[in-house]
Amino acid sequence: MIAIDIISDGLFAAVAAMGFGSISDPPMRAFPYIAILAAAGHAARYCLMNFLGVDIVTASLVAAFIIGTGSVFFGRKVFCPMTVLYIPALLPMVPGTYAYKTVFSLIMFFHEISSPTKGNEYLQEMIYNGAVSFSVLFMLAVGATIPVFLLRERANSMTRGSEFI
């Protein structure tokens, strides 16, 4: 049952990533790698959060690092920049629920401004959800970018022919 949950999480992330990827019109040869990266990253985050008790921010950093590293290696094989691979793979990990709750709490805060007790509750909710949303987005960017610095030679030469390496 656990394996099914992990596989289905990765599969849904792969489908979503291919949908996001289709918007930016990458080469067709990139789609399988976008799906693999999204599935691996999202499944890793799922496992870290559900089985090891890691928070969503740290799990997102690790997952983004996996996606970023994979995009450096797959980018060479697909002969396209790593951003073509990792941006669509990261998008299913954007914390939409937290962002929605942030905006909802903001609206409710202004709606309940006459009631200090309710207003404070909504303000606290807005700050918490906004902080989580921002932190996850920041860690997704950092985690996907770290491999560029760690694997600089490989990342900078992935779209060039072998005569430039």
* 162, pLDDT greater than 80: no
Q: What is the pLDDT of residues 107-131, one digit of tens each?
A: 999 887 777 788 889 999 999 999 9
Q: What is the pLDDT of residue 117?
A: 82
Q: Where are the domains of the chain?
A: 2-164
| pTM, two decimal places | 0.86
Whole-angstrom distance, CA of residue 66 vs CA of residue 17: 15
Of the pLDDT bands very low, low, confident and very high (cuts 50, 70, 90), residue 79 is: confident
Helix (H, G, I), strand (E, B) or coil at 81: coil
For residue 110, the number of C-alpha atoms closer than 13 Å in the C-beta half-sphere is 5
Of the pLDDT bands very low, low, confident and very high (cuts 50, 70, 90), residue 43 is: very high
Q: What is the mean pLDDT of the chain?
A: 89
